[in-house]
């Protein structure tokens, strides 16, 4: 007799996959994400990696996780407490159980709960045997290793390879529970392992084994999350890394300007170099340098030679690049420096997110060396922020810093593919040959932008001096005079301030005037937006401004701040943007600061706002 299955429609669900770093949790989460995107849900993800390269298998330090929040409505965050926890071993259960929603669904790989693994995780007894979980959660004890071994019997594969397919088994169970199609994952397996048919076969069998388990086991409820209603257009699932790289590619194509990306491997910025290295056919040149200093030197040299130089790193690497950033400021050459922020100081939390490099970006160089700083707010926004950084760097002849972070570059969301023709026009004007008897003046400036000419070495009549010693206004000659240094310092500051002409009027979400304004920059955008929606539903008089350009700040921001009784600034640092706002506008802003290595929660912001009001 077939079992009776109840269908339940849900508006949103948060699932967390957790297991050993070798259990394929990122792959399982990624495939569920892709399938949710195909189905048409809105979604947001949060991959979480262990910092250790090879932590002991089964240890707490080696737990890797991937969280996806998917919905039939518009959402802004990867969720807080998961509704479903997939724990592939005791360590994953130990680390993540405390965050599972009471009454939530718990899926356990029963075969991994061995005496050795239980001891490694710090369990004195087996929670899968003593019924300690059953009162608080809907628990499914699944012998995944046994399932995949049985379905792969007869395949000429080592037991270790077969064991690795258990993440597809877990994925199959969830595909059944949430009524997801198998075909996109099977197509992906056929493409990824096209030269290894036996691997395709094993993983496909494991996926079906999990799905069939849902059909035959005592799981009596399936959940439906309908397609989300989103603005019309063509969407794709995208993470911040790919979005930033596409921004660079679009800048190159729109400007007809060569791009040279030079970097040195560092978590979590390395994937920018990996992605761009595949696009040689588009004229993107990539170079893996021997160290951080060399990489920015190569990028700046490329800009001197007439290409747009770009480099990327994280906090420790940016520290090493600062001398060359100062050289880019004084030589007034275009350069884009992408900082994928992570937890610090020093090596800190290499795989966790943070926003603690803001003051470094603004002031972390010797002398008065002002730089424009732009901060993407969502994974998809990395595209627009990086494109704008490239455009501004060339238009204003200045280095520009892009402040992303680990959450943004690794997280993903549905992205409405933009029309490149709708982007701001990207114009490149190289100085032409000088056939006159007049000497070329390398610091003769544009009246509006204060940018100097971009003169390509070897161009007839454009011989000029360039370097790190202060230059004379207009001529570019070496100049130590006090008045000239004052003038050049003022010009470099004013050039950055002139970028306010490029910033669109600031958008206020929610009430344009009221009791409290939430002011954010960078990745807290989503949590702030979700918090504001909840507060507005409860009739609070609140608004939200999400700043993209951190330097210079929007010219209309002061007037907006004056429309509210209080200003709250949430940041994933100990309080950096708040110092700038207080100093710039003399506003007694209040900070909400966490440095836990993960994104802010909307509920934390809501609680703080209610406390203040």
Per-residue pLDDT tens for 270-295? 999 999 999 999 999 999 999 999 99
Q: Which of 317-321, 418-422, 426-430, 509-513 has the lowest mean pLDDT?
A: 418-422
- Residue 53 scores a pLDDT above 80: no
- Omega cis (within 30) before 345: yes
Helix (H) or strand (E) holding 525: helix 525-537
User: What is the tens place of the pLDDT at every residue in 263-273?
Assistant: 999 999 999 99
Tell me the pairing of strands 105-109 and 84-87. Answer: parallel
Cβ atoms within 10 Å of 12's Cβ, excluding its own: 17
Query: Which of these, 467, 428, 432, 433, lies nearest to 451 by C-alpha position?
Result: 428
User: What is the tens place of the pLDDT at every residue in 182-221?
Assistant: 999 999 999 999 999 999 999 999 999 999 999 998 788 9
Given this chain, do its domains 6-224 and 236-422 carry the same CATH topology?
A: no
Q: Could you tell me how far CA 257 lies from the centroid of its own chain?
A: 26
Sequence-separated (6 or more) residues with CB below 8 Å from residue 138: 103, 104, 105, 106
User: What is the tens place of the pLDDT at every residue in 356-365?
Assistant: 999 999 999 9
Q: Which of 2-6, 443-447, 493-497, 572-576 has the lowest mean pLDDT?
A: 2-6
Under CATH, which architecture does the 6-224 domain have?
Answer: 3-Layer(aba) Sandwich (3.40)
Res. 2 pLDDT band, cuts 50 70 90? low
The answer to whether 542 and 510 have CB atoms below 8 angstroms apart is yes
User: Helices (DSSP H) in 283-314: which residue ranges?
Assistant: 292-304
At 1 the pLDDT is: 45
The answer to whether 505 and 556 have CB atoms below 8 angstroms apart is yes
Query: Which of these, 80, 79, 91, 122, lies nearest to 23 by C-alpha position?
Result: 91
CB burial string 352-380: b at 16+ within 10 A, e below: bbbbbbbebbbebbeeebbbbbbbbbbbb
- Residue 305 scores a pLDDT above 90: yes
Sequence-separated (6 or more) residues with CB below 8 Å from residue 274: none
Give CA–CA dist 24/163, Å, rounded: 11
Give CA–CA dist 426/247, Å, rounded: 12
**Torsional sign, CA 405, 409, 412, 414:** positive
User: What is the tens place of the pLDDT at every residue in 89-147?
Assistant: 999 999 999 999 999 999 999 999 999 999 999 999 999 998 899 999 999 999 999 99
Sequence-separated (6 or more) residues with CB below 8 Å from residue 369: 325, 326, 329, 330, 492
CATH class belonging to 509-612: alpha beta
- Residue 339 scores a pLDDT above 60: yes
> Which residue, chain included where needed, has tokens 């397996």?
189
- Beta bridge partner(s), residue 259: 284, 308
DSSP-based three-state secondary structure for 373: strand
DSSP structure class, residue 502:
G
Cβ neighbourhood burial of 259 (10 Å; 0-12, 13-18, 19+): buried
Helix (H) or strand (E) holding 259: strand 259-263
Sequence-separated (6 or more) residues with CB below 8 Å from residue 476: 441, 442, 443, 464, 465, 466
Q: What is the DSSP string of 18-77?
A: EEETTS-HHHHHHHHHHHHHHHT-EEEEEEE--SSTTPPTT-GGGEEEEEEEEESS---S
DSSP-based three-state secondary structure for 324: helix
DSSP structure class, residue 178:
T
Give CA–CA dist 56/61, Å, rounded: 8
Give CA–CA dist 486/571, Å, rounded: 35
Indicate left, alpha or beta for 348 from its phi (over 0: left) and psi (-120 to 50: alpha). left
User: What is the tens place of the pLDDT at every residue in 536-556?
Assistant: 999 999 999 999 999 999 999
CATH class belonging to 236-422: alpha beta
Give CA–CA dist 509/529, Å, rounded: 8
Q: Which of 98-107, 152-161, 317-326, 567-576 has the lowest mean pLDDT?
A: 152-161
The answer to whether 522 and 356 have CB atoms below 8 angstroms apart is no
Query: Which of these, 550, 558, 502, 496, lies nearest to 525 by C-alpha position?
Result: 550
Return the domain boundaries, the chain: 6-224, 236-422, 509-612
> Which residue, chain included where needed, has tokens 């259960």?
93
Indicate left, alpha or beta for 606 from its phi (over 0: left) and psi (-120 to 50: alpha). alpha
pTM score of the predicted model? 0.95
């Amino acid at each position: 007799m077939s079992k009776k299955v109840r269908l339940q429609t849900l508006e949103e669900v948060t699932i967390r996959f957790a297991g050993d770093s070798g259990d394929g949790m990122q792959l399982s989460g990624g495939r569920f994400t892709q399938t949710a995107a195909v189905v048409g849900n809105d979604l947001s993800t949060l991959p979480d990696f262990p910092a250790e390269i090879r932590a002991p298998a089964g240890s707490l330090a080696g737990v890797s996780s991937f969280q996806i929040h998917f919905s039939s409505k518009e959402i802004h965050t990867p969720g807080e407490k998961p509704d479903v926890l997939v724990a592939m071993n005791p360590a994953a259960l130990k680390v993540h159980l405390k965050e599972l929603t009471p009454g939530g669904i718990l899926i356990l790989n029963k075969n991994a709960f061995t005496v050795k693994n239980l001891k490694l995780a710090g369990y004195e007894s087996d929670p899968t045997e003593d019924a300690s979980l059953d009162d608080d959660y809907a628990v499914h004890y699944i012998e995944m290793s046994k399932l995949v071994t049985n379905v792969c019997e007869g395949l000429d594969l080592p037991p270790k390879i077969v064991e690795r397919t258990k993440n597809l088994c877990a994925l199959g169970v969830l595909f059944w529970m949430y009524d997801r199609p198998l075909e996109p994952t099977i197509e992906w397996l056929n493409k990824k392992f096209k030269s290894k048919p036996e691997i395709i076969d094993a993983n496909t069998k494991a996926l079906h084994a999990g799905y069939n388990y849902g059909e035959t086991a005592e799981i009596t409820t399936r959940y439906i999350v309908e397609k989300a209603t989103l603005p019309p257009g063509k969407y794709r699932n995208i993470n911040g890394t790919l979005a930033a790289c596409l921004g660079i590619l679009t800048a190159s194509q729109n400007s007809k300007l060569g791009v040279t990306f030079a970097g040195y491997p560092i978590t979590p910025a390395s994937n920018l170099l990996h992605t761009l290295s595949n696009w040689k056919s588009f004229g993107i040149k990539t170079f893996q340098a021997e160290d951080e200093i060399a990489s920015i030197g190569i990028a700046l040299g490329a800009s001197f030679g007439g290409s747009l130089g770009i480099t990327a790193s994280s906090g420790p690497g940016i520290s090493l690049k600062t001398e060359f950033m100062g050289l880019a400021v004084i030589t007034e050459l275009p350069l884009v420096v992408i900082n994928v922020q992570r937890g610090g100081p020093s090596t800190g939390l290499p795989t966790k997110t943070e926003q603690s490099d803001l003051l470094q970006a603004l002031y972390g160089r010797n002398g008065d060396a002002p730089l424009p700083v732009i901060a993407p707010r969502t994974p998809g926004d990395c595209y627009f922020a990086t494109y704008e950084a490239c455009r501004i760097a060339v238009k204003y002849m200045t280095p520009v810093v892009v402040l992303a972070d680990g959450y943004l570059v690794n997280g993903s969301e549905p992205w409405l593919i933009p029309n490149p023709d709708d982007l701001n026009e990207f114009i490149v004007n190289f100085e032409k040959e000088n056939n006159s008897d007049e000497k070329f003046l390398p610091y003769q400036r544009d009246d509006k932008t204060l940018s100097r000419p971009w003169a390509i070495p070897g161009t007839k009549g454009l011989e000029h001096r360039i370097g790190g010693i202060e230059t004379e206004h207009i001529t570019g000659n070496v100049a130590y005079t006090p008045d000239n240094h004052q003038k050049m310092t003022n010009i470099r500051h004013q050039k950055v301030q002139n970028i306010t002409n490029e910033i669109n009027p600031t958008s206020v979400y929610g009430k344009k005037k009221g009791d409290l304004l939430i002011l954010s920059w960078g990745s807290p955008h989503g949590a702030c937006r979700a918090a504001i929606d909840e507060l507005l539903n409860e009739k609070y008089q609140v608004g939200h401004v999400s700043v993209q350009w951190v330097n210079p700040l929007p010219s209309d921001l002061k007037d907006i701040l004056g429309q509210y009784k209080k200003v709250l600034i949430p940041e994933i640092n100990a309080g950096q943007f708040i110092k700038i706002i207080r100093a710039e506008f003399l506003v007694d802003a209040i900070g909400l600061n966490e440095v836990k290595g993960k994104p802010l929660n909307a509920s934390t912001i809501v609680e703080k706002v209610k406390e203040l009001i």
